[in-house]
A = this chain, B = another copy of it.
């Protein structure tokens, strides 16, 4: 398995829907942002999750997560969410995902980590993670 030299990055704009009455992004919504970045990262790696689910009846599911919320994103901010492979076993893979506010010092807002598994969508049984999708396409 080749290592990802540089994390995948995805830009996301913060809309009113993402914020709450505390004036900042509601904490659970950072996990939505992380999934958007994972989805786009998988797309960039050649994985079409809709085809995977609807035709092959296979899907990725999150089995564990941890995150530290260091500073808030606010309405109208344009933030960057990263995704990079941090670990891989037969049954699961781990993705490091950070969220930062780009600028002269790229302020880190959230440090996240996601463990995912690969399942049969019909019976929710675990399948071997298709490790080849994470190999460097050259």
Chain A residues packing against B (C-beta within 8 Å): 13, 15-17, 19-24, 26-29, 31-32, 35-36, 39-40, 48-50, 53, 59, 61-69, 72, 74-76, 121, 124
Contact = CB atoms under 8 A, between A and B. Distances in A.
Contacts of A61: 22, 27, 69
Nearest to A121: B22
15 contacts: A15-B35, A15-B39, A16-B39, A17-B20, A17-B35, A20-B21, A21-B21, A21-B24, A27-B65, A61-B69, A62-B69, A64-B67, A64-B68, A65-B69, A66-B67
A64 B62 contact: no
A69 B74 contact: no
Total identical chains: 4
A22 B62 contact: no
A96 B32 CA distance: 22
The A contact surface, by secondary structure, is: mixed
Top 6 nearest A-B pairs by Cβ distance?
A: A50-B76, A28-B31, A66-B66, A19-B21, A27-B62, A16-B20
A121 B31 CA distance: 23
A28 to B, nearest CB: 4
